[in-house]
Amino acid sequence: MIHQLIFAHPKPGMSEQEFQDYWVDVHAVQYASKIPQIRKYLIDTRIPFGPEPDDPLWSGIAEIWLENDEDQLASLQTPEFLEGARLDEPRWAAFWRTVVLDTDAHVLRAGDHPAPEDGVKIVALVKRTEGTTVEQFRERSLGEHAELMLQVPGLRRYLQCFTRDGAYAIGEALLDAAYLLSFDSLEDLEKAVASEEYAKAKDDLVTFVQPRYLHHMAVKEHWIIGSEGEARDHR
């Protein structure tokens, strides 16, 4: 299963709230969700957390699940994509700032289904240190680092999503992984990042990733198709 993450930014002149409302209420429902190959689909909208940047890199993330490479290619050739979702994108998104990651997800803590209504999550994007191979990075990430992060209090669900091998076929991938850490509430997230366990995991992270490429974003989930525990029925 391909777990695709699409990071997007509002088009010029559109506020972040307008951008998020259009993405969730219009684009996702009227256009993207019509693509038949999509198995599950959710929108993560950015929420304020910590120091607020003047211009966030992104204001939301689409998470899309596709069965395999064949379905992904087919999805890009459908009229629902070509004449629908693709044509609608410039109405709300600064497409030149969009970043797409096709990943293979490793579920290190499954969590309960569905997520609570007040649930939030942190998405962290990382790039490995120079001189480290992709295999070494993944082994380190899934091993010692994951063990530290799993000790963080209140962590309900934890995914490490590694950029798929195909991204390295003709060069270096932009990013190596996205980490998705879910909590039952914003209060639980605040307590977690203030904990000693989180500090240890954070200190460990910068020993094998490049700090200048490290980006965190707190988000709220909006499920469009399926949920954490179910997928679209194609029968």
Q: Would you give per-residue pLDDT tens digits along the chain (235 residues)? A: 999 999 999 999 999 999 999 999 999 999 999 999 999 999 999 999 988 888 999 999 999 999 999 999 999 999 999 999 999 999 999 999 999 999 999 999 998 766 788 999 999 999 999 999 999 999 999 999 999 999 999 999 999 999 999 999 988 999 999 999 999 999 999 999 999 999 999 999 999 999 999 999 999 999 999 875 455 644 3
Strands, E assignment, the chain: 2-8, 38-46, 60-66, 99-109, 120-126, 157-163, 177-183, 215-225
Strands, E assignment, 9-98: 38-46, 60-66
Residue 31 is encoded by which pair of tokens?
Answer: 């256009």
Residue 192 is encoded by which pair of tokens?
Answer: 């977690």
Residue 59 is encoded by which pair of tokens?
Answer: 């204001």
CATH number of the structural domain spanning residue 47: 3.30.70.100
The phi, psi pair for 220, rounded to 5°, reads: -115, 135
Q: Is residue 40 part of a domain?
A: yes
Q: Is residue 11 part of a domain?
A: yes
Q: Is residue 177 part of a domain?
A: yes
CB 138 within 8 A of CB 47: no
Domain of residue 100: give its range. 2-225
Q: Is residue 41 part of a domain?
A: yes
Domain count, the chain: 1
Q: How far apart are CA 214 and CA 231, in angstroms?
A: 31
H helix or E strand, kind and range, residue 189: helix 186-193
Q: Is residue 232 part of a domain?
A: no
Q: Is residue 59 part of a domain?
A: yes
Q: Is residue 234 part of a domain?
A: no
Q: What is the pLDDT of residue 228?
A: 57
Q: Is residue 136 part of a domain?
A: yes
